[in-house]
Amino acid sequence: MGEAAAPQRLVSSYLLLAPMLGVIIAFLIVPLIMVGIVSLYRPTGTGYVLELNLSSYVRFFTDPNIYGILLSTLANSAIVTVMAFILAYPVAYFLTMKIRTFRAKTILLIAMLIPFWIDFTTRALSWIPWLGIQGILNQVLTGLGILREPSPIFLFSPFAMLLVMIQGYTLFMIAPIFIVMSKIDPTLYEAAKALGASPLKTFYHINLKLTMPGIGVGTVFVFLSSVADFATPRLIGGLVTSIGQVIRDQVVFLNLPLASAISVILTLIALAIVMTVFKLMNIRQVFE
């Protein structure tokens, strides 16, 4: 542990990082910078010319079919995130506080995480037997007399899209909240009880406040996944168009500058949200 050894150790730390950072810089940072540059080129209809202008950004802010879709995608993603939080929190609470054995906790958590191992396209399509006009949901609802006749709104609709996203992304919320809640010192609950706090107060001051970093990580993952997801709206959302689909269409039309400009704006919004959540909820402790 001598002082003299320190510089050599530093070099070796950087050497260990080098292969990974090489891949990250070449295949992540450079392409992202290129998106920024191409967004400033002038589109020509079949490609672009190397001539700086802002026409793609002007198009974004003046075409309601583009900024409107971004706004609706953001709104849908917010709904998915809030619903995922509401669904996830009691489950994470139950797993942490009410299940005693380590083995049972692990099995239940892994059972919850199963959809993560199945690709999202398959998961979206697996809802079809449930949601169609002759689907299980309609049969149950008409059978119970809740609906007089089968409703077409469950499939190829905003409802279907939100349902599939909520189902798929809730587990991104369960896992981080569960991990953070598990790290809470159990003596805190005893202290709260001894000092006469009501169960509700204990829940608010200990569980909810101390799991903020977990909620933060969950929020970031659910929100970012929903914003970028163009496949679910496309497969099962009917007439819903997502901003991801708009970007994809522009690539098909060979208008890469416009696709890039939309991507830049989408990314800036995503980063702003991540930074805000990071600031609001001391997120770093999740990784420690």
Compute the least distance from the CB of residue 148 to other proteins, in Å.
19
Length of the chain: 288
Name which position in 206, 222, 227, 240 contacts other proteins (CB under 8 A).
227
Query: Binders of other proteins among 177-216, rule CB under 8 A?
Result: 178-179, 182-183, 199
The residues, any chain, with a CB within 8 Å of residue 84's CB and separated by 6 or more, are 166, 169, 170, 172, 173, 218, 222
Query: Binders of other proteins among 254-283, rule CB under 8 A?
Result: 256, 259-260, 263-264, 266-267, 270-271, 274
> Which CB atom, from 162 or from 264, has the smaller least distance to other proteins?
264
Applying CB under 8 A, the span of 55-63, 100-108, 141-149, 205-213 interacting with other proteins comes to 100-108
State the amino acid at position 104 in one-letter form.
A
Name which position in 128, 197, 210, 212 contacts other proteins (CB under 8 A).
128
Residue 100 in contact with other proteins, rule: CB under 8 A = no
- At 126, list the tokens: 């697996």
Query: Binders of other proteins among 21-60, rule CB under 8 A?
Result: 21, 23-32, 34-35, 38
Residue 85 in contact with other proteins, rule: CB under 8 A = no
Residue 91 in contact with other proteins, rule: CB under 8 A = yes
Residue 231 in contact with other proteins, rule: CB under 8 A = yes
**Cα 190 from Cα 117, distance rounded (Å):** 38
